[in-house]
Structure formats: structure tokens, C-alpha cells
Structure 1
């Protein structure tokens, strides 16, 4: 379809839109697993705090 690498990278005049779209997509694909990991760690910390608080309550009632 393209006669040269320059034509490929120009994308028929839509290069800015096409390459920015690829860039945003790549950024999201890189950031999503990190965001999931941070959220998971946050949930685990909160659950551990809740378990400790529950254990403390049970010990203080005895």
C-alpha cells in the first residue's frame, strides 16, 4: 500500500491522529496492570487492618 517508509509513517495525512492513538493505547496497556497492582495492595492492607481490629475487639471482650 505504501511506496516508502515515509508514506507509511505519514499515514495518508492522518499521522498525528494515528500515532497519538497508538501511543495512548500503549500507555493505557502499560499503566493498567500497575493500577490493578496498587489497588490490590490497597485492598489487602485494608483487609489486614480489619482483621487486626476484629481480633483486638475479640481480645478486649474477654
Structure 2
């Protein structure tokens, strides 16, 4: 693997290669099918999903 160094100015001027129209055209069904067909992907169970909270609901640790 080759690493390439960039200056801060070069990074600021980089343009992304993502095509917004392609991202916008992906449906929830497309995403679900991709997740289920990916052997490295894991869909959480309903029980596991219940453990998630929104960030503002999390308690602050002192």
C-alpha cells in the first residue's frame, strides 16, 4: 500500500467523487437488500435495537 502526503491547501481543494444523484436514487429497499446480501454485515435484532438511545438521551459521565 502506498501512502501519499497532502498539504492542508491541497486537501482544502480536493473535490469528492460521489455523485449526489446516484446517492439520492438509492431506495431503502436497495439498502436493505445490500445489507442482507453482504456476508460481513450484521443486522441487529429488535432486542439489540432497543438498547440504542439518541445522543441527547445519554447520561453524562462525571
Q: Answer yes or no: same fold by TM over 0.5.
A: no
- Which entry has the higher C-alpha Rg, 1 or 2? 1
TM-score range, shorter chain: under 0.3
Q: TM-score scaled to structure 2, two decimals?
A: 0.25
Higher helix share: 1
Q: TM-score scaled to structure 1, two decimals?
A: 0.25
